[in-house]
Amino acid sequence: MSERINVLKTYKIFIGGKFPRTESGRYYQPKVNGSPIGNICLSSRKDVRNAVVAARSAFEKWSGATAYNRSQILYRIAEMIEGRKAQFIEELIIQGETKKAAEKEVDTTIDRVIYFAGWADKINQVFGSVNPVATSHFNFSMLEPTGVVGVVSSESSSLLGLISSICPIIVSGNTCVVFISESKPLCGVTLSEVLATSDVPGGVVNILTGKRKETVPHLGKHMDVNAIYLADSASEFKESLRLDAVDNLKRIVVGKESDLYSNKFENPYIVTSFMETKTTWHPIEIISGSGSGY
């Protein structure tokens, strides 16, 4: 009997809940210690465009879902990662981690998702407010998601860094287009398979692989992207993105890589960075009519 030939996996991109190949048809082979770890799509400008269209069309339904529902779906993501723990650990090891570090990264990743899942129905309770005003109005402020967020995810932390970017963005109802680690893309692509089977509606998270130099500028200039999260504060794109963002006043949020494992990364202000405040002036008959003091 002839020797069996292994089937090598082709890692595809994730747009609108589907797994297309890149429109460009190009591939690259990231290497660890000199040997290639997979065939990865080199996404193009048009993949960015398609991903933003998918994210925009998913926004209305996702932001309109109940906070409770979003919370459940995030929790489901954590469950699915748990189920694929062995695969994630294996891929982290292929990407050059030690077994011990890989296990720690996957565990922290799962905990991180659960942490942010909890904020879905609490963020407005904590950060929304009833405001004292001197006129006959009931005045209150609510936080709303910003819209489509572009993410330039961590280059070095390919799973924990990635999940710590995505969760605080989508938990409030934003949708996102994510560039995952260029040199360590395996976990990111596997995460997209998790997302596809976790009840996350198609288009809420779109995952692109490839050379960031080619694609990030198109995201920065895109008029339909409302905010950008740059995971790495030392990123080469920091200045150029700030300039490109001017046209439609994108919000640029820069993360702090060194905090990834600390509980500094578990705080709700990351969630509010991607939210906008809407204040409503609701006319009432008499101020303090109910006898309350606000």
Partner 1 sequence: MNMINTPKVDKVGIEDRISRITKRSLKKEAKMEGLKMALNMVDLTTLEGMDTNNKVSQMCYKAMHLHDEHPGLPTVAAVCVYPNFVKLAVNSLKGSGVKVASVATAFPSGHSTLDIKIKDTKLAVDSGANEVDMVISRGKFHSGDFNFVYDEIASIKEACGKARLKVILETGELGNLDNVRKASDIAMLAGADFIKTSTGKIKPAATLPVTLVMLEAIKDYYYKTGIMIGMKPAGGISNAKLALQYLLLVKETLGIKWLDNHWFRFGASSLANDLLMQIMKQTTGSYQSANYFSKD
Report the interface residues with partner 1, using CB under 8 A.
49, 52, 218, 221-224, 247-248
Query: How far, in Å, CA of 162 to CA of 252, rounded?
Result: 17
Query: How far, in Å, CA of 20 to CA of 198, rounded?
Result: 19
Read off the DSSP letter of residue 203: T
Shortest distance, position 130 Cβ to partner 1, whole Å = 30
Task: CB nearer to partner 1: give 70 or 218.
Answer: 218
Shortest distance, position 59 Cβ to partner 1, whole Å = 12
Q: What angle do CA 81, 85, 91 make, to 5 degrees?
A: 105
With H, G, I as helix, E, B as strand and everything else as coil, classify residue 279.
strand
Task: CB nearer to partner 1: give 51 or 151.
Answer: 51
Task: CB nearer to partner 1: give 8 or 223.
Answer: 223
Count of Cβ atoms closer than 10 Å to residue 35 Cβ: 8
Query: How far, in Å, CA of 102 to CA of 160, rounded?
Result: 10
Task: CB nearer to partner 1: give 52 or 160.
Answer: 52
Shortest distance, position 188 Cβ to partner 1, whole Å = 23
Backbone angles phi, psi at 166, to 5 degrees: -70, -50
Shortest distance, position 179 Cβ to partner 1, whole Å = 16
